[in-house]
Structure 1
Amino acid sequence: MRWADGHESRYPAIWLRHNCVCAECGSTETARRELRLTDIPREIAVESAAVNEQGEIAVTWKPGFHRSRYGALWLRAHCLSPAERDYRRHKPVLWHPRSNNLLSYESYPALEEKPARLRFLERLRDYGFVILNDVGCEREATEQVAKLVGSLRMTNYGIYELISQPSPQLVGDTAVPLAPHTDEPYRHHPPGITFFHVLAQSAEGGDSTLVDGYHVAESFRSENPEAFRLLSTVPAGFHRTLKEGRAFYASGPVIRLDREGHVEGLRLLDRGTAPFDIDAGEVAAYYDALRSLLAYLYDARNQLIVKIEAGQMLVFNNQRLLHGRTGFDPTVSHRHVRSCNVDLDEFYSSLRVAYRELGREEAYMTLAQGAGT
């Protein structure tokens, strides 16, 4: 096919025939599908093709003379050329603490309107975090905001209450500083979108520290390609044992790449690493690589520090952003944060539905799959 802008698309016959979703073949999106791949002859070929009155491409196949129709938007959005496949791959905005227009505050009540909600979702997709104002300090607001992004993911923590305690089981309940990290890397699929709803904030300290893992990874790739190779190919193990009788373990590269080498997720919690199960000959080099990456993350010059006030909410991509906290004095200030999560696929679903309602090609955008194993 040749398009009005001069682009040319080529569609293999077997691929096009397999993607027929007529009433006879059925839909792959609903899985109410009569056609099976094994029903399509290996020698399938186009008998004829033409543009019909609806602006669709109508194809008749041989053998069998089955008729299929394909919309122009769908065809262009699924073009297999390298240029089009790269075009529809989402390009995140990489940032560092000195980037312009970095902090974005959105009003929670405004998200009831679809344009504002889409703007919020796009900002979260592009930058990895958004701060919401006017959330209030009512406990139920935590879940209400999260449900605008997708269905809640409930783990053993439930809706977690981060309250400083004298003898906590989890370090998040302490008042000590927390170095940048991703949450729960010991799960095969770590939390995707995290919601930090501040109900009470410390007067001094307790500020959030954020680091763009995508920017760090790309800088690291340029400066130390061998260390990057190790951290993106050799799995690291993470574990967590809880008093309630739970023991978690998962392994995966600290930096997850897609098949074309693009960074699509990170998992890293220095204080939660399991003994690395790697070849003894790689141990020294692996530790050197990890030390170099952590030194960058722990350098205050590379951290965005922002105070989330009571009644505000920090929403961020836990598989992209590394987050931490400055210390505070619990004898002087009371700090209470409610936290919950939504999986990345729920977040992406909300984006796709919004784009489909608007008839926009972004509905077919390829999004980063995160740091899952």
Structure 2
Amino acid sequence: MAKIYNFSAGPAVMPKKVLEKVQTELLSYKNSGMSVMEISHRSSLFSEIQENAEKNLRRLMDIPSEYDVLFLQGGATLQFTMAPLNFANNFKRIGFINTGHWSQRAIEEANLINGVEAIEIASGFSSGYTKLPEENRTSEDLDYVHITLNNTIEGTAYKEVPYMKDKFLVGDMSSNILGQRYNVSDFGMIYAGAQKNIGPAGLTVVIVRHDLVEKSPNLPAMLSYKKLVNKNSTLNTPPVFAIYCAGLVFEWLIAEGGIDVIEKKNREKAQLLYDFLDNSSLFSSPVSVKNRSITNIPFVTGNSSLDAKFIAMATENGFVGLKGHRLVGGMRASLYNAFPIEGVKELLKIMQKFELEYKGVY
């Protein structure tokens, strides 16, 4: 089989050791004679899987005891609705830091909730979202502030969390959770879709401060953090297989040295590509240097036809998932935790070859 380097933004590359473990256990989990996809979510086998997954996630992220951990479904997109329903109940106003497409989607969904108003307290619009906003106009009449920590499409990311005075933060950490260190206590809630740094699609991780859960109103069961916490994420059948895979990824991360070690490796991978882009006569990064993501790295040639040629050439040579998002075009390399540094080095070789062939042609 030809070597493939998967730069996809998600579903994304998973650790090879995890996939091999899944393969060996797929037909009979722990000699039960049943696949992990067949075991009951009420069984002791699954309870152990879920308990270990939560324990290891708490260890990796240093999650304080006053925070609940939920393993849910519906993707990060459902959290655009769940968070306002549970938390926007005093002023009915939410402050949003608009840093691009996924911030905008969160704003759109919040505004669909009757009586709730989404307010932009900062925006990167003037820079075309190539920079993060530097000033946040917070006010007293906000229930909370929403922030997207890493912008998968635009390629920007927060290294440090903005200070919001007495307003708690709800953080969308879908694309860089476990890939760089943040202090959980800086947030009232964190949520993340699994399909980038945690495991297969179908699982959403929510980390939420318990006092906020207790204050939430009476809501339909599957939209209520309180009811989901009380039932340990099992109001209905949870995504058993996705939680199992996530648990294996957490174990892999611990064996690799944890988040701080992984972040160092991620920064090394990203810096290799950024150094090439900054010295290239053909390729370039459109993102402000101080706001660059180490996870999702967009780049362009400045000519859409040339971009298409490079993507075609890369794909033919086993570099898949490099086509940029339709909203911004160009190329994008997603360097999640499981992506090997060798893949970046091989990408640079083919970029250099393409540059020698095409610079000055267009």
**TM-score normalised per structure 2:** 0.27
The structure carrying a bigger strand percent of its residues is 1
TM-score between the two structures when normalised by the length of structure 1:
0.26
Question: Highest Rg: 1 or 2?
Answer: 1
